[in-house]
């Protein structure tokens, strides 16, 4: 009887009440997502996804980018290749160095017929080798601007002519 009670306490999670062991028994119902998730250390998770930040996933897509000038209009367009994506950030590589704090509009070319527009602020730009810069962008809501809408439409129509 004493060994059963010790096993119960050893298997019990600290945030579960007594009587709840791994989702079985009396007490509060268990969280099925918590019981189903394997417990891995952060170092093991980072070993499986190289160069991905917390919550970021590998993402491969062609990009058209333009820096926003002081009047809120897109400037000259250049190309890049996305490498990571999270809910709040996008990482890409391109031949152009970007200054931190500048805003950019991005057209992500997927298999869809139209590019997906994104907007963000440069958080980090560092030389990555082979003449390429690795740039991290903090994503922001897309502003309702006629010039940005026209730029996205123009980039979308140019990609159709190339195909």
* Residues 120, 62: Cα–Cα separation, whole Å: 17
Q: Which of 74, 81, 127 is nearest to 102 (CA)?
A: 74
- Mean pLDDT over 96-119 rounds to 93
The mean of the pLDDT values for the chain is 77
End-to-end C-alpha distance for the chain, whole angstroms:
74
Rounded to 5°, the CA angle 107-113-116 comes to 25
CB neighbours of 39 closer than 8 A, spacing ≥ 6? none
Where are the CATH 2.40.10.220 domain residues in the chain?
57-162
Q: Above 90 in pLDDT, residue 39?
A: no
pLDDT score for 37: 44
- Mean pLDDT over 7-19 rounds to 44
Q: Which fold has domain 57-162?
A: Thrombin, subunit H (2.40.10)
**Confidence (pTM):** 0.64
Q: Which of 90, 82, 89 is nearest to 64 (CA)?
A: 82
CA atoms within 13 A on the CB side of 45: 12
Q: Above 70 in pLDDT, residue 142?
A: yes
């Amino acid at each position: 009887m004493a060994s059963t009670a010790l096993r119960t306490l050893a298997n019990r999670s600290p945030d579960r009440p007594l009587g709840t062991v791994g989702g079985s028994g009396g007490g509060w119902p268990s969280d099925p997502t918590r019981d189903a998730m394997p417990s891995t250390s952060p170092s093991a998770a980072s070993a499986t996804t190289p160069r991905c930040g917390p919550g970021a996933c590998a993402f491969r897509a062609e990009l058209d980018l333009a820096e926003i000038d002081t009047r809120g209009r897109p400037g000259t367009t250049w190309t890049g290749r996305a490498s990571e994506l999270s809910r709040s950030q996008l990482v890409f590589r391109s031949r152009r160095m970007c200054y931190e704090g500048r805003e950019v509009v991005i057209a992500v070319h997927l298999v869809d017929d139209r590019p997906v527009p994104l907007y963000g602020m440069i958080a980090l730009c560092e030389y990555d080798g082979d003449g390429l810069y690795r740039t991290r962008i903090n994503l922001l809501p897309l502003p309702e601007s006629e010039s940005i809408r026209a730029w996205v439409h123009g980039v979308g129509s140019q990609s159709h002519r190339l195909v």
